[in-house]
Amino acid sequence: MSSPTTTPRRRHVLDLDDWSADELRSLLTIATQMKDILERPVKQVPTLRGKIVVNMFWEDSTRTRSSFELAAKALSANVLSLGAKDTSVKKGESLVDTVRTVQALGADYIVMRHGQSGAPYLVAQHFRGSVINGGDGRHAHPSQALLDLFTMHERLGELADKKVVIVGDILHSRVARSNLWALTTMGAKVVVCGPPTLIGPAKYWQSTWPKVEISHSLDHAAEGADVLMALRLQHERMEGGLLPSLREYSRRFGLNATRVASANSNVIVMHPGPMNEGVEIMPDVATGPHSVIETQITNGVAMRMALFYYLATGSEQV
């Protein structure tokens, strides 16, 4: 009689391209329990007591960096936060040298954000502990996609056959890519929407995600949607000639009350932040009854606690 098989414990979280639906459901279960912990008078458990978490953020960040720091502290870890200016990078130190230094100081976990796609993968090759990708170039932002998934699941339940519309600068978005992996794995019907210059060729997306729908009309895409997610429009896209004007973009692709009204009655409105209110999302929609944007921020701490817990224990039992 053969022994039962077990799923090997993950060492890193670099992207979501190799996560199964069962693993994602386990993480959602853990995040729910972590959110319960955060609602207690004492918002702390001893899971990572004695462990060291180093946040290495080579790009500016408010939500992600502070969320990971709060998550690690809620699990009783010791936390060190480093930006590029806090290291010897300007003196010629390489990223690998910095990782070796952090490792010699006793780090157990590294949370890495970097402007170059693939940087967390390089760190993972040279670090004995666990690496979590906090966003790398245009490539991936797995923890953002996971907290988005958690927020959708809280409000909508199972996501199979739910219509999720992601609108904005899809081509340059690491948030969109990681969300595509998570949402398609869970069976959602995903529509990516934006001007052709910010989406690129349909075959580029459909070669990897064949069931993803491409749309260049938000008025059409929003009809019957269960989720409307706007992505931040970076001003350099207009400066690079990819858009005629911010006003034109807002008119055609901004989330406004009319487009929200065309979606399902229980539609949720999401944005990973930071927002350009009045451009990709109107102020009344960002703070309206369908918005879960503040909930996303709250859920970010719970989901990042869940990630640390899952890496530390491999279990969904808290």
Would you write out the chain's pLDDT as a tens digit for each of its 318 residues? 333 334 567 999 999 999 999 999 999 999 999 999 999 999 999 999 999 999 999 998 889 999 999 999 999 999 999 987 776 666 667 999 999 999 999 999 999 999 999 999 999 999 999 999 999 999 999 999 999 999 999 999 999 999 999 999 999 999 999 999 999 999 999 999 999 999 999 999 999 999 999 999 999 999 999 999 999 988 766 566 788 788 999 999 999 999 999 999 999 999 999 999 999 999 999 999 999 999 999 999 999 999 999 999 977 667
Question: What residues does each domain of the chain span?
Answer: 44-139, 142-297
Q: Say whether 314 counts as a known binding-site residue.
A: no
Please state which of the four CATH numbers 3.55.50.30, 3.30.2130.10, 3.40.50.150, 3.40.50.1370 is assigned to the domain occupying 142-297. Answer: 3.40.50.1370
Three-state secondary structure along 289-307? CCECHHHHHHHHHHHHHHH
Q: Say whether 64 counts as a known binding-site residue.
A: yes
Pick the catalytic residue from 35, 65, 139, 141: 141
Q: Say whether 224 counts as a known binding-site residue.
A: no
Strands, E, within 237-276: which ranges?
268-270
Q: Which residues pair with 114 in a beta bridge?
A: 136
Q: Say whether 177 counts as a known binding-site residue.
A: no
Architecture of the structural domain at 44-139: 3-Layer(aba) Sandwich (3.40)
CA atoms within 13 A on the CB side of 189: 9
Name the token pair of 228.
């409307």
Q: Say whether 274 counts as a known binding-site residue.
A: yes
Is 91 annotated in the active site? yes
Q: Is the dihedral of CA 214, 232, 70, 68 positive or negative?
A: positive
Q: Say whether 259 counts as a known binding-site residue.
A: no
Cα 57–chain centre separation = 15
Q: Say whether 49 counts as a known binding-site residue.
A: no
Is 51 annotated in the active site? no
Is 64 annotated in the active site? yes
Give the integer Cα–Cα distance in Å for 65 and 62. Answer: 6
Q: Is 310 left (phi over 0), alpha (psi -120 to 50) or beta?
A: alpha
Pick the catalytic residue from 85, 90, 91, 203: 91
Is 47 annotated in the active site? no
Pick the catalytic residue from 63, 138, 172, 216: 63
Pick the catalytic residue from 113, 139, 153, 237: 113
Give the integer Cα–Cα distance in Å for 45 and 40. Answer: 11
Pick the catalytic residue from 32, 47, 64, 98: 64
Is 138 annotated in the active site? no
Confirm whether 44-139 and 142-297 share one CATH topology.
yes
